Amino acid sequence: MTRLRRKLSAPAALFAAGLTCALAGPAAAVQVDVGQGQSLELAPPAGYCALDEARPPEANLIRAMRGAVGETMRVVLAFGDCGELVELRDGKRPLLDHFGQILLVAQGDKVQRIPETRANYLAAVAKPMPSATVADIAANGEAQMKAGKPSDRPKPIFAVLGRDELALYIGTTSLQGEGDEKTLVAGLAGVTLVHQIPVNINIFGAYAGDKASGAAALDRLVEQMTAAISDLQFTNDDVDMPAPLPVPSRNEWRAMGSTALVGAVVGGLLGGIGALALVWLRRRRRAAQDDAVHLDETPPSAEPPAAEA
């Protein structure tokens, strides 16, 4: 299994990202109530800024994310590349090519807790999943892009790219659109446990579609993700935080089953990509409707003036 190296964000990179975020919108951490008197501090990865639900295009993407991830996952923070977000808000681009979300495993309104060590939790999630390399997943993406028709298209791979002491890293690629507007999207999920609360960070990036650019896109996501996971754990492992409160019994944890956990993780990753597809399809449908309206708008004929008697 590929070993991933954790890399903390450089101060200069954080400073530059902070300047861009000041233009794009709030990127400050949010406090998320997880019950039992506890909260988690969550923030976008370096270089990303939080989406603003007060802005319709961003609200549409957030709603699509929530609808796509299913009932077992709660989207608690959605974010996009800061530079792209500035362009989106200025009307210079219709969609974000690089975006992501932070998810919590939940049943109804209750955030789930896992009465296990982080190591055991990650092992349980990884156990039923295949492993792959960045090259394997990039090759699968290229095959999706080159398929002549949908029936010939291979299914996307959802596989473990690597694991360290903080998180499990699951990668995939997914083809969006059809015809000349096809786009491949690389996705990476960082699965971790923070104070016995499962947290998923998903990051997505569109790329050209060939194997080389796919591998490069996934490598970038891995670098961003390992830094984001490090920041998440460092922020929430503050010495002033109270000791973890009692959690459900191990019998309840076992009743959930690792299969259900994998389903939730993959569902969240697929749902994030699905959100992009939903927004893309809505934009395309709206454009088609606008074209139809434009074609139906026949200008009134100019009648010659009546001859004077």
Q: State pLDDT tens for residues 40-58.
A: 999 999 999 999 989 888 8
236's tokens: 């929430």
Whether 114 has a pLDDT exceeding 80, the answer reads yes
263 band by pLDDT with thresholds 50, 70 and 90: low
CB 224 within 8 A of CB 45: yes
**What value does the mean pLDDT of the chain take?**
75
pLDDT one-digit tens code per residue, 123-155: 888 888 899 999 999 999 999 999 988 889 999
Phi (first) and psi of residue 196, to 5 degrees: 65, 20
Statement: residue 174 has pLDDT above 50: yes
Cα–Cα dist 98/206, whole Å = 7
What residues does each domain of the chain span?
A: 29-238+249-293
pTM listed for this prediction = 0.75
Per-residue pLDDT at 265 exceeds 70: no
Q: Tell me what pLDDT residue 108 has.
A: 77
Instruction: Quote the pLDDT of residue 179.
Output: 67
Is the pLDDT at 30 greater than 80? The verdict is yes
Is the pLDDT score of 198 beyond 80? yes
The mean pLDDT of 232-244, rounded to a whole number, is: 65
- Answer whether residue 300 shows pLDDT above 80: no
**Is residue 173 predicted with pLDDT exceeding 80?**
yes
pLDDT at 93: 85
The tens digit of pLDDT for each residue in 64-81 reads: 888 877 777 888 999 999
Return the pLDDT at 3.
37
pLDDT at residue 275 in the model: 52
Q: How far apart are the first and last CA of the chain?
A: 95
Q: For residue 119, what are the contacts with CB-CB under 8 A and spacing of at least 6?
A: 165
Checking if the pLDDT of 296 tops 70, the result is no
pLDDT value at residue 273: 57
